[in-house]
Structure 1
Amino acid sequence: MRTLGATLEGVSSGAVEIALAPGPAVSQQHGFVHAGAVSAIADSAAGYAALTLMPPGAGVLTAEFKINLLAPAAGRRILARGRVVKAGRTLTLAQADVFAETVSDGEVRERLVAVLTATLMAVQGRDGIGD
């Protein structure tokens, strides 16, 4: 997330919000935030939402996801809001809605730009990268 410039904005039980500031490093040829960056924050928001409901010491791994890109991602911030749909001992189903945030006449507006559905797996015994 650091490479993309994404930040963790909120964490609660079964829910996580991640924000991304648009810029040249994450933009595609038309100036919109690239679908890869949108997918990355959506996957991370869904995954971390699942992790909040997993037992202590567990890790999380995405087993599968599908994303629907509904509109170009353009605005002052891109927000991915992940939430758990159904938590299980091994597999969890989560969803992330991604919004483009704009300001018009002093009012903050959000436009839904993508919806991701993910199956996430609890992983035990993975204390660090490269184990």
Structure 2
Amino acid sequence: MTAFTPKDPDYEARVRASFARQPMMETLSATLEEVAPGTTTIVSTIPPGTLQQQGQTHAGLAFSIGDTAAGYAASSLLPKGFEIVTSEIKIHLLAPGRGDRLVAIGRVIRPGRRLTIVEADVHAESGDTRTLIAKLMGTMVPVPLTES
């Protein structure tokens, strides 16, 4: 894995504060577990409202936490005063989302000044069993932070 150097020494606090401002993640019972330069981990306890008709986790939950994990991985490398937005992201669904929780691990593949290439793996966990259920790959774009 490539080691990245963040441009903001307070990157972790900035990423955690941004995550805390996302009501969507709260709705999905998602928490930001780990933050390091170029990688983040987000965990969801799979709320009942995120199940599909067959009783499995809806792909929308895997997509949302995977996209967010990849985005914050990219954000961890930005200078102060910038945030990240998704330009495009693709998901490959590999297995049913069955388990007690979903774990999304986002990583930067290649950072750039205008575009950052990212990926995320989403696993379903049940006890000691961990199954890769989705793989995401996409492009993130840095944008100046606007005060609202």
Equivalent residue letter for 1:14: G
**Greater fraction of residues in strand:** 1
Q: Which residue of 1 aligns with 2:142?
A: 122
Q: How many residues align?
A: 124
Q: Which residue of 2 aligns with 1:99?
A: 123
Report the TM-score when normalising by structure 2: 0.81
Residue 110 of structure 1 is aligned with which of 127, 130, 134?
Answer: 130
- 1:53-92 equivalences in 2 (<5 Å): 53-92=77-116
- 1:124 CA drift (Å): 1.1
Equivalent residue letter for 2:135: V
Are 1:42 and 2:66 an aligned pair? Answer: yes
Alpha-carbon distance between aligned partners in 2 of 1:11 and 1:57, rounded to the nearest angstrom: 18
Report the TM-score when normalising by structure 1: 0.91
**Greater fraction of residues in helix:** 2
Alpha-carbon distance between aligned partners in 2 of 1:125 and 1:32, rounded to the nearest angstrom: 37
Q: What is the CA RMSD across the aligned residues, in angstroms?
A: 0.9
Are 1:20 and 2:44 an aligned pair? Answer: yes
- Structure 2: gaps spanning 5 or more residues: 1-24
Q: Which structure exhibits the higher relative contact order, with contacts defined as CA atoms closer than 8 Å and separated by 6 or more residues? A: 1
Residue 33 of structure 2 is aligned with which of 9, 26, 31?
Answer: 9
Alpha-carbon distance between aligned partners in 1 of 2:60 and 2:145, rounded to the nearest angstrom: 29
- Structure 1: gaps spanning 5 or more residues: none
Q: Secondary structure at the match of 2:26?
A: coil
